[in-house]
Chains A and B, each alone.
Chain A
Amino acid sequence: MLTETPLVIFTIIAQMSAGSFVVLGLIHLLYVRTDPATMDRVSDPALYAIGPVLVLGLVASTFHLGSPMRAANALRHLDSSWLSREILAGLIFALLGGLFAVCQWRKWLPARTRQALAVVVAVNGLVLVYCIGRVYTLRTVPAWDTSLTMVRFFTTTILLGSLAVGAALVIASLARARKGGEAAASRLLILNSVRGIAVGCVVLLGVKFVVQQSYISGLANNPDPAAKASMDILSKTDGGFSLAQGILTFACLAILGIFLAQLSRGKVGHRAVVSVAMSAFSLILVGEVIGRMLFYASMVRVGM
């Protein structure tokens, strides 16, 4: 299970970063009538967190290399290798995202231009996730060579991204409260955002369960011995990890469901919002890391 750890870290972080950026954009879009000062106060800390995390992911990916000093050579085969394209997309996303964060921080450029830049960065993030998906849709690995690889990666992207944003919003809110009080308007925006994230994630977790079922039945019905070997790894050798991922994912779903049920009955305290956002994120992060480790562990090639 401890194979390809640098790649587990890189792909999880890249997808989480891309997803966070998209979800932050959606929050801006959906709560457009919120006072801009409140919006920036609440969402900027989450934005600033993405950059360092993404850089950490890119650095982690070089630990996978046998010759990390030559990492730049990875960009030499853009016309044919999805791996080259993946690295380029990662760099562009990091650079443009960083540029946007600096502009947002210093309030450079008019607000409209910044918004346009944010859209470009978000699209780049999704392109990065698409490239990662293509890298692993490798025609010699039956466990990966399915359109569901792409679906699974995008589900992880939005799921992990939105829950990371939820956690970042409440952590920043706690920090502000400790420093001298958190405005009621900020708390309301956070409550609304976390509710939106919870609704979105309940849907995505449903997608995840359905996709997982079709993935497993597709793999089980693949006649290639390599597919059978992958199946054995997922269900026998590392079956406990598969079970753990399922339980963690369900626990996250349960927490979000209970939260939404409480919310429909009336007011939910700010402390409850904080603990829901934090625990849902932690559960899904651990679950997705285990899922990604299983993804690499199940890699078995056709042939000899």
Chain B
Amino acid sequence: MTKFKQLGFYIDQANCTGCKACQTACNDKHDLPVGVKWRRVAEYAGGSTEQDDADGTFRANVFSYYTSISCNHCEDPICVEVCPSQAMKKGENGIVSIDPEVCIGCRYCEMACPYSAPQFNAAQGVMTKCDFCADFLAQDRAPACVAACPSRVLDYGEVDDLRKKYGSENGIEPLPDPDITHPNLVITPHKDAQASGHGTGAIANPREI
């Protein structure tokens, strides 16, 4: 299998249609129970409709774009830092994963992670999260989400290579300031994308993510 120094994900926001095939493929691959979402697609929307005084017509000045996020296997993973049991670890290929035999299910990582990556599985009593489809990687296969994307807007690989290929943007609303955890994530921004901390919109599907 290919070895990586640090794996990362790439999203092309400009061409993402928000179909959520990535999320569905992830749920299916990992057999996740309802409510446990290792990959989530946020819809960020804003703007307003204005009336033209001259002719009384309405003009929509609105925007909306999608951001598909699982875990960014961050450079400074706050989940690893705060985890009291050392169940959360940064390991092989730079993947951040949880040892389900050690986790006590205190949910402190869930409180801390600004991407909602750690997800509580109530039936198992432990936290669970994206493991970058480590079993697929071992067979040199792409992670389920990347493979499933019909618009081919997701990519993965050595994060340095992704940055060379696509640039280094990773601070787009509704994502947090990347300085908090230094995510291994590369984004091609949507034309209406707003920088983290300077957003004028809001997450339109809060209960979905």
Contacts and interface: CB of A to CB of B under 8 A. Distances in A.
Contact of A83 (B78, B108, B199): B108
B113 to A, nearest CB: 7
Nearest to B120: A66
Contact of A303 (B84, B107, B115): B115
A113 interface: no
A214 interface: no
B146 to A, nearest CB: 20
Contacts of B78: 139-140
Contacts of B62: none
Given A66-B122, A225-B202, A302-B114, A76 B106 contact: no
Interface in A117-150: 135, 138-141
Contact of A66 (B102, B113, B125, B199): B125
A74 B111 contact: no
A64 B174 CA distance: 30
A176 interface: no
Contacts of A66: 103-107, 120-122, 124-127
Interface of A is mostly: loop
B26 interface: no
A303 B114 contact: yes
A141 B78 CA distance: 12
Given A66-B105, A303-B175, A138 B83 contact: no
Contacts of A64: 106-107
B55 to A, nearest CB: 36
Interface string B170-208: 000011110010000000000000000101001100000
Interface residues of A, number: 31
B67 interface: yes
A302 B106 contact: no
A65 interface: yes
Nearest to A78: B84
Nearest to A61: B106
Contact of A139 (B120, B175, B180, B199): B180
A304 B199 contact: no
A77 B83 contact: yes
Contacts of A264: none
A85 to B, nearest CB: 9
Contact of A299 (B103, B111, B120, B124): B111
Given A139-B180, A303-B114, A304-B209, A65 B106 contact: yes
Contacts of A71: 104
Given A138-B111, A140-B78, A77 B85 contact: yes
Given A140-B114, A141-B111, A302 B85 contact: no
A140 B126 contact: no
B176 A140 contact: yes
Contacts of A304: 40, 42, 67, 69, 114-116, 174-176, 203, 209
A217 interface: no
Interface string A165-180: 0000000000000000
Contacts of B80: 80
Nearest to A296: B111
A74 B69 contact: no
Contact of B180 (A74, A77, A82, A140): A140
Nearest to A84: B84
A213 interface: no
A79 to B, nearest CB: 10
Contacts of A138: 82, 111-112
Contact of B125 (A67, A77, A82, A302): A67
Given A66-B121, A302-B177, 13 more contacts: A64-B107, A66-B127, A67-B105, A73-B103, A74-B84, A74-B85, A76-B86, A77-B84, A223-B197, A301-B111, A301-B116, A303-B114, A304-B175
Top 8 closest A-B pairs, CB basis? Answer: A66-B105, A303-B114, A303-B176, A66-B125, A73-B85, A83-B84, A84-B84, A67-B125
18 contacts: A66-B103, A66-B106, A66-B107, A70-B102, A70-B103, A73-B84, A81-B84, A82-B82, A83-B83, A84-B84, A224-B197, A302-B177, A302-B180, A303-B116, A304-B67, A304-B69, A304-B174, A304-B209
Interface of B: 40, 42, 67, 69, 78, 80-87, 102-108, 111-116, 120-122, 124-127, 174-177, 180, 197, 199, 202-203, 209
